[in-house]
Amino acid sequence: MSRIFITGSSDGLGFLAAKFLIEEGHRVVLHARNSDRAKETISRIKDAENIVTGDLSSITQTKQVAEQVNTLGLFDAVIFNAGIGTHESKRIQTEDGLSQIFAVNSLAPYILTCLINKPKRMVYTSSGLHKGGDSSLKDLNWTDRKWDGMAAYSDSKLHNLILAFAVARKWPDVLSNALEPGWVPTKMGGPGAPDSLEEGAKTQVWLAAGQDKEALVSGHYFYHKKLKNFNSAASDPNIQEIFLSECNRLSGVSFPVQ
């Protein structure tokens, strides 16, 4: 039995992954953006061990999420599931002066990775759109470029892959992988999305708690439990170091040494 924390588990993939994990006998701690969503979520998954709250668009609240998680003790795995989509027609700025998409999708997973007591496994939720992401890592915060919501989202999903592979390289004692759930019918994907929501969630579960040898690996990218091609820039140590350095600069949180 494993103990697992899932970000963005009030609905969609994270909610379904939590249900599957609990059905398998694992202990699960959920996350919701605020107390109202937390109450609603915990009423729908009564067997969850606990729930933490915090808006991941805020650096301060993201740090507080990490503090809440660490107060609860050690975890076997963390599933980084929380994310926002491409619906923004203009750049929305957070309280920290960041692009909201970058803050939630890219910077929050970095901060939580750095601050949560190191688990045995880390699972990062990317997207096939990461292949169109800008690997130059210039203007991560979209202050100079003309705003493009789809491009900003694609960038953020490349960042998730870069982070997953950086963790795999720098922390050999952690199994760190990323997955592509596909275009699934969540609030983000819409009701007409053609991929299987269940298969996406099952891949998260498999990477977080699976015991077969295919899941006990690190530094890989999966789609429906199968290895999949990815943007090779994500595996470049130089690009990884640039990304970690920029996240450090923007958040004030440094990546821990091994």
Positions marked active-site = 153, 157
Output the CA–CA distances (angstroms, integers) from residue 197 to 10, 84, 147, 151, 173, in the order listed: 15, 16, 29, 23, 30
CB 20 within 8 A of CB 72: no
Distance of CA 39 to the CA centre of its chain: 22
The helix-helix angle for 108-115 and 237-251 (nearest 10°) equals: 90
Helices (H) and strands (E) in the chain, counts: 8, 8
Q: H or E element: which one contains 179?
A: strand 175-179
DSSP summary character for residue 127: -
Q: Give, for 227, the enclosing helix (H) or strand (E).
A: strand 226-227
Contact assessment for residue 175 and residue 216, using Cβ atoms and an 8 Å cutoff: yes
Q: Alpha carbon 76 to chain centroid distance?
A: 16
Rounded distance between C-alpha atoms, residue 90 and residue 105, angstroms: 17
